[in-house]
Structure 1
Amino acid sequence: MSLEKFSKETTLEMRKKLIGHSCRLFFSEHPMKIVRAKGQYLYDEQGQRYLDCISNVQHVGHCHPAITRAAAAQMDLLNTNTRFLHDHIVHYATRLAETLPDKLRVFYFVNSGSEANDLALRLARQYTQHNDVIVLDHAYHGHLTSLIDISPYKFRKLGAQKEWVHVAPLPDTYRGKYRKGHPDPGQAYADTVKDLIEDVHKKGHKIAAFFVESLPSVGGQIILPEGYCRKVADYVHEAGGVVVADEVQVGFGRVGSCFWGFQLQGEDFCPDIMTMGKPMGNGHPLACVVTTQEIADTFTGNGVEYFNTFGGNPVSCAIGLAVLDVIEEEALRRNASLVGGHLKELLLHLQRKHTIIGDVRGAGLFVGLELVKDQAQLTPATEEAAKLVRRLKEEELILVSTDGPWENVIKFKPPMCFSIEDAELVAEKIDVILLDIGTTSQSKMKET
């Protein structure tokens, strides 16, 4: 079947009529019509090429030929209900298990990060027989009703925090209560969770789970302080709860030095449940929950079958296996370390030049550039961040976006094939635009 090709204006008009208006577009004032992609590049209907710094879903690069071949070959052979035996699902689980601590060995395959986090919540409650959940401020864990309830990023806008949801401070060492100069911010922020647990117990409630993004993304590309998760896990376990690490944004080697973001916290920390999603299928809907045998046995023993029609189907698993192959064969973890480290150094150089750059943080190809109007007060430079994003797109054909509570953090989560040359181009163009909008400190320029 040949589909009619519409003009950009017609496509936009039809979308307004047919698609829910809450399904927003990137760059909504001047939305883009993207018709093809390759590697770290997107192409619009006019053939214009854009450097993509934000598509962490297309983990190993847009339209990677190895992924396309794996999907087509398996689709041509078989795709069926997961109640039939098939080798792919066990091969894939075995490969994933090789990247994880021995403790995490039981897998449940699903279709999205939201499905994974919803299942993790069910597992936690079934195992602990408790109900309450602790989350970090500004966290986002998915779009299902159960996950909106544990996502302050969403429920604060609705003014509807459930009584069983308890919000701990975001461990932000740049603008939070305990900052980089603190002797042990990990312990200090962990103690805020301990205090919260004590308050929950005083109200007669019990903790089922502590949900944490291994590197909070919507919160502003946050790197958790050293030792935080291990210390929180001790407190949560003492309270009879479990720790759920949400790796939907940052798993599969994005941080470079480790395969999973939670591993940045050291070998002495391992979550009880971990969720993964977006990058798993390089754009194909594929996600997963992994947990311990003990927790899985409790879930099995509740008398209610868990079944997911499409989760772990042969095509999805073939794609997942191909993604793992590409990560290994193209040394993409090493690339994330080298390129991400170089990008971070370039941005740190710009920080010494531009007073509007308050903080540069990140790990591998997960990098944040926080803009502030005042270095002492840390007033968010929201308008300037939006202007930088807009001008990078319109003038330099570079796509970035903002995150953080005040949308003043420029985030970089590009495909893992992002190059040294790409990083240098991005830094060069940011420098030019910040100079033009007058954010340079003359005294700092003299120093450099």
Structure 2
Amino acid sequence: MINSSTSGTSNTAAPQSHNQGTTNKGILDMNAFDHHSAQSPAAKRRLANQGAAAVLFYQQPIEMVSAQGAWMQAADGTEYLDCYNNVPCIGHSHPAVTEAVSQQLSKLNTHTRYLVDVVDEYLEALKARLPAELSNVMLTCSGSEANDLAMRVAMAHSGARGFIVTEAAYHGNTALVTDASPSSLKRGQLPDHVVTIPAPAKSYYAADITDPQQAELAIRQGFARDVQRAIDTLQQRGHGVAGLLVDSVFSSDGIHTAPQGFLADAVAAVKRAGGLYLADEVQPGFGRLGSHFWGFQFHGLIPDVVTMGKPMGNGFPMAAMVTRPDLLADFCQTTGYFNTFGGNPVACAAGLAVLQVLKQENLLANASQRGKELKQGLLQLAREYPTLAEVRGQGLFIGVDIHNASGQPCASTTKHLIEQLKQQKVLSGAAGLLGATLKLRPSMTLNDREVDFFLTAMRVALRKSTID
């Protein structure tokens, strides 16, 4: 099989490398602070405390002191529009979450071996947002834990240990999940039981196809074909297929949602091979897409396992794995599972407040409308500035491919644009196999004035980038 990663981190079943002559970017390298550059006292303090594991954004890291709604405030008084951090999905420091957490913390916070009403109230409210088949919820503290548990459930059910992920996937940081997160690796290669496939990118599967319907068909068929090749590879290696683990909008791969429903053929192939479909909703879940509460719903599918985290508690650490009772029973026959802090009453109070605010403030509709405005504005800018290539995404989850003057995807150009946006008081990030996609995930409370603020900042940043 051909290794498509120039850094040796991919173990792909694709028929050929689609990024020859380029450099793949690890997720922690994107938009990262250079430890060897000039350091503020605060940055030096962090490096002294965390050493080589420290991860900070921007060439001059920002010292944050507070945040409200879609805005964050730095120690020097600068206010930034946060278009990067999807954790506070209903806005930073939302008063409903603050109140719910404060009240519950003042009464009781303990593990789940006692019956506490708010825990089951939350579980039932969450399940009301999910397909009826997915009725067992295991609460954890992080998306990494949720994905770790999901993979273990898939292995217990299938009797296999092989997993299929995309080339720039990130699913967490436990040992098991890091093995299935190629974007986390800086050198070496993935283990033999993990095979990668290209992301469902138009630039890869339908680059030369001008007819939209034919392009959509090519993506759907091509992605399913590469999943089947990965299945064949895992079976040839003797691992079998435990599951297809994919972020429902392929966030780390550069945000790929079109064509709607394209995942169906790939999922069908995995199920025929005895594997499970594991939907990682840690980034796209909880209504960010606007049209649907979950990414898998956008594709018209019911997963075997769903994982979630990040926006679940609007900043309070909580996550979950949701599955069918039969699958969880298979796992529990051989393995006990208990999480001391997962599902604690304070987390459940936070999560319940998030679900209530999403409904009360009609934030899915807002995400849909503001997302359309953002995309329309970006498409207009793309007609003026060739630096902006493909604009894609759904709701308030948008990716923009960034090209250099030669018309090629370019991580350094992307990083420069991100720095220019910072100068215009907008926070953003990078994604994609090459680190050449601008990733935008503003708060779902984003209003029309904030959309205008972003588009004005983007225009200035593009103009300055062109001059520089």
Aligned to 1:141: 171
Deviation track 1:77-128 (CA, whole Å, cap 9, x = no partner) reads 0001211111122111111111111121110000000000000011101111
Q: Specify whether residues 196 and 65 from structure 1 end up closer, same or farther in structure 2 by C-alpha distance, changes over 3 A only.
A: same
Instruction: Give structure 1 stretches of 5+ with no counterpart.
Output: 1-7, 440-448
Aligned to 2:317: 285
Aligned to 1:446: none
Give the C-alpha shift of residue 368 in structure 1.
1.0
Structure 2 counterpart of 1:244, one-letter code? L
Aligned to 1:419: 447
Q: What is the alpha-carbon distance in structure 2 between the residues aligned to residue 176 and residue 411 of structure 1?
A: 19
Please say if 1:162 is aligned against 2:207: no
* Equivalent of residue 155 in structure 2, options 114, 125, 143: 125
What is the RMSD of the two structures over their aligned residues, measured on CA atoms?
1.8
Secondary structure at the counterpart of residue 358 of structure 1: strand
Instruction: Give structure 2 stretches of 5+ with no counterpart.
Output: 1-38
Give the C-alpha shift of residue 232 in structure 1.
1.3
* Equivalent of residue 101 in structure 1, options 124, 131, 134: 131
Q: CA contact under 8 A between 1:356 and 1:381: conserved in structure 2?
A: no
Report which stretch shifted further, 254-263 or 158-167. Answer: 158-167
Relative to the length of structure 1, the TM-score reads: 0.91
Structure 2 counterpart of 1:425, one-letter code? F
* Equivalent of residue 461 in structure 2, options 418, 427, 433: 433
Please say if 1:258 is aligned against 2:292: yes
* Equivalent of residue 273 in structure 1, options 275, 281, 305: 305
* Equivalent of residue 378 in structure 2, options 347, 359, 383: 347
Q: CA contact under 8 A between 2:118 and 2:349: conserved in structure 1?
A: yes
Aligned to 2:393: 362
Please say if 1:239 is aligned against 2:239: no
Secondary structure at the counterpart of residue 427 of structure 1: helix
Q: CA contact under 8 A between 2:216 and 2:258: conserved in structure 1?
A: no
Deviation track 1:307-326 (CA, whole Å, cap 9, x = no partner) reads 01011111110000001011
Q: CA contact under 8 A between 1:255 and 1:365: conserved in structure 2?
A: yes
Aligned to 2:366: 335
Give the C-alpha shift of residue 370 in structure 1.
1.0
Aligned to 1:92: 122
Aligned to 1:74: 104
Please say if 1:196 is aligned against 2:224: no
Q: Give the paired residue count.
A: 424
Q: What is the alpha-carbon distance in structure 2 between the residues aligned to residue 171 and residue 146 of structure 1?
A: 24
Relative to the length of structure 2, the TM-score reads: 0.87
Report which stretch shifted further, 225-234 or 269-278. Answer: 225-234
Q: What is the alpha-carbon distance in structure 1 between the residues aligned to residue 216 and residue 416 of structure 2?
A: 37
Structure 2 counterpart of 1:345, one-letter code? Q
Q: CA contact under 8 A between 1:171 and 1:225: conserved in structure 2?
A: no
Structure 2 counterpart of 1:40, one-letter code? A
Give the C-alpha shift of residue 224 in structure 1.
4.7
Q: What is the alpha-carbon distance in structure 1 between the residues aligned to residue 465 and residue 420 of structure 2?
A: 11
Q: What is the alpha-carbon distance in structure 2 between the residues aligned to residue 284 and residue 190 of structure 1?
A: 37
Structure 2 counterpart of 1:94, one-letter code? E
Structure 2 counterpart of 1:196, one-letter code? A
Identity within the alignment, %: 37
Give the C-alpha shift of residue 374 in structure 1.
6.1
Secondary structure at the counterpart of residue 207 of structure 1: coil
* Equivalent of residue 230 in structure 1, options 255, 264, 268: 264
Q: Which residues of 2 match residues 25-104 of structure 1 at below 5 A? A: 25-27=56-58, 29-104=59-134
Superposition misfits of 4+ residues, deviation over 6 angstroms: none
